[in-house]
Homo-oligomer: A and B are copies of this chain.
Amino acid sequence: MFESAELGHKIDKATYDAEVPGLREDLLNAQFDLAQKAKFPVIILIGGVDGAGKGETVNLLNAWMDPRYIVAHAMGERSDEERERPPMWRFWRALPPKGKIGVFFGSWYTAPIVQRVLGKTKASELNQNIDEINRFEKMLTNEGALIIKFWFHLSKEAQRKRLKSLEKDPKTRWRVTDLDWERFKLYDKFRKVSEHALRATSTAEAPWMVVEGADARYRSLTVGKVLLQAMRKRLDHPVQAATTATAPLQAPIDSLNVFDKLNMAQKVAKKKFDSELEKYQGKLNLLTRDERFRSMSVIALFEGSDAAGKGGAIRRITGALDARHYRIIPVAAPTEEERAQPYLWRFWRHIPRTGRVTIFDRSWYGRVLVERVEKFCSEADWMRAYSELNDFEEQLVKSNTVLVKFWLTITKEEQLLRFKEREKTGFKRFKITEEDWRNRKKWNGYEAAVCDMVDRTSTEIAPWTLVEANDKNFARIKILKTLCQQIESAMKKK
């Protein structure tokens, strides 16, 4: 992959000086169109060999473009707030909103490549990372992002020369450290690993642009032109959402679904409820005060039919917790800042630090439930969501998050009783709205969506727990018990 970037490309000063003013004007215009009209984010990744002009290029882009709408992120040491969350959290929090350009100096490629070069990971782990990256970038482009990936390359000899010359100049001597020479020794390994990573992640939507880094003018002009072309193409030819690529989801042809096997008559009597509640709340409290809990976190998410009792169940959990250590995130319509970001961004921002519990009252599953049924998003969008949500959850679980997913189910008759009761009761009046009655009319559509959701996202790492919730006591105990079990089982693995 690097052959074309070792040819000694050069641009003479006259050509450069003649081309730059026009290029800058075109870039500024593209940036203006991006901010004012197109409303998609541009994500620029900068990677490659040390000394090949990565930092200079980031500075150049800021100099050429309107620096108010382009933000560079240096991904150095992780802060403690970042270390206590999945590795991708720091990138999510730095994603540019629609209309802006984000430049990542050091990106989601850095750790996988460096770890492999240093021999800290196996080839198979690198390949797994690569798969994850491909799915992540695919998701970003599906969400509308334009991703442009630059890899700055130098031949081994060129890198040696470059480091030497930086070292000789008193003005740039500080830039060359012992670490750089240490790394230089790993050149061949680095080249091999990165070539593999680049090849495997050069996709149709987000191909790598390998740029020879030796000549500053060649490098700069190439980057400017690639960037301009990519932005211009997307601005002038907006992407059409795929409408035909999805396969139909066939419900079981005998209409037997996962809910039919639930025993909705299960009940827990008052007396037993009181003792079980005390037992499991006590247990949950103890678990969250266990030493091992400090290096893990819990995310419990609640979905369910309207009036299925999510709120009451959540309160039975929080009643066992220290209020200082949990958050409840009620998921409603996204805010303006959230709408300017990929769908999952608004959930990533609430991922807890270690030692904390976050409870989502409704969740990222809105995509395959309400958004699907109400047609708020296209079929292609909710169809791809299943694997995106699985990827997201895999990241959480890999980072020591205990993820517990509850679907609270009630029968249609029970819902009607509860709706009517809510309309009567004073302090429950705000729990019943016109929308609830409207949703009820779509009961069958929701049921199909829920069955598909369970089939496609109840995974070995994050299974769904279906909760028979016609009897509130039964549901609450089942939920508390499940939560305790899952935390315990995660602790035992420690």
Contact = CB atoms under 8 A, between A and B. Distances in A.
Interface of A: 24-25, 28-29, 32, 36, 55, 58-59, 61-63, 66-69, 71-74, 79-81, 103, 105, 174, 289, 311, 314-315, 318-319, 321-325, 327-328, 330, 335-337, 361, 426-427, 430
A67 B336 contact: no
A28 to B, nearest CB: 5
Given A25-B426, A69-B330, 6 more contacts: A62-B318, A66-B311, A74-B324, A335-B336, A336-B336, A337-B337
A58 B319 contact: no
A272 to B, nearest CB: 22
Given A335-B337, A361-B68, A324 B73 contact: yes
6 contacts: A29-B427, A59-B319, A63-B318, A63-B319, A68-B328, A73-B324
A371 to B, nearest CB: 20
Contacts of A55: 322-324
A360 to B, nearest CB: 10
Contact of A62 (B28, B323, B361): B323
A425 B143 CA distance: 35
Contacts of A69: 330
A59 B322 contact: yes
Question: Chain A contact residues: over half helix, strand or loop, or mixed?
Answer: helix
A73 B322 CA distance: 11
Contacts of A328: 67-68, 71
The 8 A-B residue pairs with the shortest CB-CB distance in the complex, in nearest-first order = A74-B324, A68-B330, A72-B323, A336-B336, A25-B427, A58-B323, A62-B323, A32-B430
Q: Which of A29, A80, A289 is the most central at the interface, judged by chain B CB atoms within 10 Å of its CB?
A: A80
Given A59-B322, A79-B79, A81-B81, A71 B327 contact: yes
A158 to B, nearest CB: 23
Contacts of A58: 323-324
B74 A325 contact: yes
Nearest to A63: B319
A127 B321 CA distance: 37
Nearest to A58: B323
A337 B339 CA distance: 12
A9 to B, nearest CB: 24
Contacts of A36: 430
Nearest to A336: B336
Given A58-B324, A81-B79, A28 B315 contact: no
Nearest to A84: B79
Given A328-B67, A337-B337, A323 B59 contact: yes
B427 A28 contact: yes
A318 B70 CA distance: 12
A239 B28 CA distance: 47
A107 to B, nearest CB: 13
A68 B318 CA distance: 11
A323 B70 CA distance: 10
Given A336-B335, A336-B337, A337-B337, A63 B327 contact: no
A290 to B, nearest CB: 11
Contacts of A174: 289
A361 B66 CA distance: 12
A311 B62 CA distance: 12
Nearest to A319: B63
B72 A324 contact: yes
A308 B73 CA distance: 29
A321 B59 CA distance: 8
Given A81-B81, A324-B74, A67 B32 contact: no
Contact of A63 (B63, B71, B315, B361): B315
Contacts of A63: 315, 318-319
Contacts of A314: 67-68
A285 to B, nearest CB: 9
Contacts of A335: 335-337
A314 B62 CA distance: 11
A66 B67 CA distance: 44
A32 B428 CA distance: 10
Given A80-B80, A323-B59, A337-B336, A318 B67 contact: yes
Nearest to A78: B80
Contacts of A323: 55, 58-59, 61-62, 72, 103, 105
A291 to B, nearest CB: 11
Nearest to A340: B335
